[in-house]
């Protein structure tokens, strides 16, 4: 199989730091490539957190606006560009969940009634990059599936719904120590199982 050209859109699993740097400096083409590589994983995350396609799209508008305003602050020593964007999206998503909860809206969401995925415009990642992303997705899904349901549930409530261990214990009517242990054991197991995917190469 031919190697992808340097200008080809990477997948979210392989965004180089230089692409984020160029996008932050005002390079339109780099910005478009960054969007094509990362919008799907960020939209998936935003939709899981907010449960509403319009609100998730609105959140992505904010996130990409921050990329061109603050992208220069990205520090490669602290993780990959995609990890930075995921952290940014999660953090802005939690802000929205909190303001929604403060207004008395629903705090948790269900995706069962969300419409089917749409085809994105623009050039998608090349086949090798798509393969890398699919492989990562399969590995994470498998690793999460191997965790006991209770550990998975505690991790999801913390990560996607922004609940603290005390809030999770209250919601699940379980002792605080039990919740802490579930999160710790779950993260330990994932760290071991997914080592080849998170360890810097």
List of residues contacting other proteins (CB under 8 A): 26, 28, 31-32, 35-36, 39-45, 47-48, 53, 57, 60-61, 64-65, 68, 78-80, 82-83, 86-87, 90, 94, 114, 117-122, 133, 136-137, 139-141, 143-144, 154-155, 158-159, 162-166, 168, 180, 183-184, 187-188, 190-191, 194, 197-199
Give 6's DSSP letter: T
Residue number with CB closer to other proteins (3 or 68): 68
Environment class of residue 81 by beta-carbon count within 10 Å: exposed (0-12), middle (13-18) or buried (19+)? buried
Q: Shortest distance, CB of residue 136 to other proteins, whole angstroms?
A: 5
From the list 73, 64, 61, 78, the residue with the least C-alpha distance to 30 is 64
Q: How far is the CB of 179 from other proteins (least distance, A)?
A: 8
**Beta carbon nearer to other proteins, 106 or 184:** 184
Task: Determine the Cα–Cα distance for residues 10 and 133; give it in Å rounded to an integer.
Answer: 10
Q: Which long-range contacts (CB under 8 A, 24 or more apart) does 176-184 make?
A: 179/154, 182/148, 182/150, 182/151, 182/154, 182/155, 183/151, 183/154, 183/155, 183/158
The least distance separating other proteins from the CB of residue 2, rounded to whole angstroms, comes to 25
Min dist. Cβ of residue 127 to other proteins (A): 16
């Amino acid at each position: 199989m031919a190697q992808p050209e340097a200008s080809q859109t990477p997948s979210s699993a392989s965004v180089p730091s230089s692409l984020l740097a160029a996008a932050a400096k005002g390079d339109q083409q780099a910005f478009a490539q960054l969007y094509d590589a990362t919008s799907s994983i960020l939209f998936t995350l935003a939709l899981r957190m907010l449960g509403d396609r319009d609100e998730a799209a609105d959140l992505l508008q904010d996130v990409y606006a921050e990329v061109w305003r603050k992208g220069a602050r990205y520090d490669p020593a602290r993780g990959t560009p995609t990890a930075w964007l995921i952290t940014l999206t999660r953090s802005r998503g939690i802000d929205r969940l909190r303001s929604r909860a403060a207004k008395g809206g629903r705090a948790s969401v269900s995706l069962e009634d969300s419409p089917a995925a749409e085809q994105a415009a623009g050039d998608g990642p090349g086949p090798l990059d798509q393969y890398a992303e699919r492989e990562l997705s399969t590995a994470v899904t498998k690793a999460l599936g191997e965790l006991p349901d209770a550990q998975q549930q505690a991790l999801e409530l913390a990560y996607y719904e922004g609940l603290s261990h005390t809030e999770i214990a209250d919601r699940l009517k379980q002792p605080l120590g039990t919740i802490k242990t579930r999160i710790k054991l779950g993260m330990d197991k994932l760290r071991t199982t997914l080592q080849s995917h998170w360890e810097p190469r």
